[in-house]
Structure 1
Amino acid sequence: MEDRFAGIREFVSVVDGGSLTSAAARLGVTGSAVGKSISRLETRLGVQLLHRTTRRMDLTTEGEAYLVSCRRVLEELAQTEAFLATGHQEPIGRLRVDLPTTFGRRHVMPTLVALGLRYEKLDLSVTLRDRAVDMVGEGIDLALRIGELGDLPDLVARRIGEQKTVICASQGYLERMGAPQSRADLQKHDCLVGWYRGTRPNWHLRDEHGAFQPFAFVPRHELTDGDALLCACVAGAGLAQLPTWLANEELEKGSIVSVLDNLSGMLAPIHLIWQKTRHLQPKVRVVVDELRSLADAQESIFRPSRGIRG
């Protein structure tokens, strides 16, 4: 019977090491043996996984897709072996986490770094970006998302909190331009927005029926980073609709104040998302449990509607 795992370890080792020689040294075999294993794997699959030149090896499109599955298989095997050897489920292997840029940097990364220090065999690959990703296709083990989720047939989502937004401005800006009193007043103000390619700049404001609706306008400045948006608002560049987890510190200091509270205050759910499997891997479970504990402990960040300012 044909061994479906033959060549997988060699393939991943070549990608990680960048050459046949490096992979051979890691596996304790000859470079020729590694090359032959990968060639037999390509023949069995009927696709080319690597572009080979005299100086380098690059993944083909098919190779990139196959690599994601190979890494997952090898990591799950390593975790299972560790569990059998130690008798307990220790988080082991590489965990790929995807986070919203500013929220992840400010409020999640410290916890992930602490977990990496606590568990020697837990390795992290963290991406920070403000767009939806194909978790299965990109091999993401765990993601944190802010906002409503669509249909997720292959994923599990657990709500751990919510985000609340407020419209803010510096005292200097309000002294210069006056405080807006209505939705219509916003058209006469310098408005700042968090902008992402392919999206239309807008805020979400409460309508006459109490429901939140997108409010479109022509912004003065567009910024793709939350910290940059806050910085511009504090400096007096205009009005900004900010999440309370980003604005509360400056609100408490008085460097900015909230306006139009009767129109703002939209809540958006915060979820942890991971791939649906029969058994949740220890490396995923330990991070999920830690982030849920973090959310319970930091209500000003994750539960802003419970009496927290803003």
Structure 2
Amino acid sequence: MEPLHLDGIPEFILAVQLESFTAAALQLGVTSSAIGKSVSRLEKRLGVKLLHRTTRKLSLTNEGDAYFATCLRVMEALQDTEGFLTSGLVEPRGRLRIDLPAAFGRRHIAPMLIELSRQYAQLDLSITFAERTVDMVAEGIDLVVRIGDLKDDPELVARRLGEQQLVICASPEYLSDRPPINKKADLLEHDCIVGWRRGTRATWLLKGEKGLEDQEIRVRHELGDGDLLLKAVLDGCGLCQVPTWLVHEQLRSGELVTVLDQYAGARMPINVIWPRTLYIQRKVRVIIDALVTMTESNPGLFLPR
């Protein structure tokens, strides 16, 4: 195994973070030229260009972006370990990037993360919202939360947080002047509202003789946000299949009513996922533990009754 060289990496990280050789030099107490030469030697050793340099600013190349994310994780892990060895107690530090499902993440997880960041002064958060499949390593993402069945991936680890239950609902106004909905095939005669999807058949998951089955529907609107979907249904635009955590208040108030209850009730798992590694950084472990504690202390969180 080739020896690992760390020469130039601290200078590279700091220059990227401050977007300037001069600012990095001031912080390290050296000259700007020394920082530039250090990064140049690193690029020569790697055989790739890491930074675009102009008179005004520095910017990462594609290779530099991937290398920077890896360097940052390695250096933060070293800092965590050193802190543990010297004090016996590691406070989470550094920037943690977590990607969440939009409506679900905003309602259930983001408020807890913000509160947690108040507890740990050295923990910085980058929170994004998406439903897509992401390349966690390439995109520098520490944790994701996803809803639905997962594909086997030996490079990832998943911890189940809970599950959500799906119901089909509409506003009383929509149902009042439409044909009755008594069987699954009736969905083909109604306006259905779904989340935005790319190149997949429009179906809802319903109970059948052999378990859960895909039922084709007629789609009127595709909306890429859960809260917008909820508004459309409340406004009488059609039917939707949504989790109970999104609509339980409206169902309780009567603003929405469910249909096809004998076929509904499909459940989908909710997982937190992170890249497989021999050492889980303290900042990652703290968030995982907080998510697990939140769900274990409130088992009905995602399935309100």
TM-score computed with the length of structure 1 as normaliser: 0.93
Deviation of 1:8 (Å):
0.8
Mapping 1:62-81, distance limit 5 Å? 62-81=63-82
* Identity fraction in percent: 52
Q: What residue is the counterpart of 2:111 in the other structure?
A: 110
Change (3 A) 1:12 1:195: same
Mapping 1:134-283, distance limit 5 Å? 134-207=135-208, 209-283=209-283
1:25-68 deviation per Cα after TM superposition (whole angstroms, max 9, x unaligned): 22222110110000000000011111222333221111111111
Alignment coverage as a number of residue pairs:
304
Q: What residue is the counterpart of 1:28 in the other structure?
A: 29
Counterpart amino acid of 2:265?
A: G
Deviation of 1:72 (Å):
0.6
8 Å Cα contact 1:146-1:270 kept in structure 2: yes
Deviates more, 1:215-224 or 1:111-120: 215-224
8 Å Cα contact 1:91-1:121 kept in structure 2: yes
Deviation of 1:2 (Å):
7.7
Change (3 A) 1:53 1:198: farther
Counterpart amino acid of 1:126?
A: I
Change (3 A) 1:179 1:27: farther
Deviation of 1:297 (Å):
2.9
3-state DSSP class of the match of 1:279?
coil
8 Å Cα contact 2:190-2:218 kept in structure 1: no
Alpha-carbon distance between aligned partners in 1 of 2:201 and 2:118, rounded to the nearest angstrom: 41
Deviation of 1:145 (Å):
1.2
TM-score computed with the length of structure 2 as normaliser: 0.94
Deviation of 1:279 (Å):
3.1
1:83-110 deviation per Cα after TM superposition (whole angstroms, max 9, x unaligned): 2232213222222211111111110001
Deviates more, 1:105-114 or 1:90-99: 90-99
Alpha-carbon distance between aligned partners in 2 of 1:260 and 1:226, rounded to the nearest angstrom: 21
1:252-296 deviation per Cα after TM superposition (whole angstroms, max 9, x unaligned): 121101110111111111111122222332212221111111112
8 Å Cα contact 1:159-1:271 kept in structure 2: yes
8 Å Cα contact 1:79-1:93 kept in structure 2: no
8 Å Cα contact 2:51-2:58 kept in structure 1: yes
8 Å Cα contact 2:191-2:218 kept in structure 1: no
Listed as ranges, the gaps of 5+ residues in structure 2 are: none
Alpha-carbon distance between aligned partners in 1 of 2:4 and 2:261, rounded to the nearest angstrom: 65
Counterpart amino acid of 1:171?
A: P
Alpha-carbon distance between aligned partners in 1 of 2:230 and 2:72, rounded to the nearest angstrom: 39
8 Å Cα contact 1:75-1:94 kept in structure 2: no
Q: What residue is the counterpart of 2:295 in the other structure?
A: 295
Deviation of 1:247 (Å):
1.2
Deviation of 1:19 (Å):
1.7
3-state DSSP class of the match of 1:263?
coil
Alpha-carbon distance between aligned partners in 1 of 2:296 and 2:197, rounded to the nearest angstrom: 30
Counterpart amino acid of 2:88?
A: G
8 Å Cα contact 2:170-2:239 kept in structure 1: yes
Counterpart amino acid of 2:196?
A: W
8 Å Cα contact 1:179-1:259 kept in structure 2: no
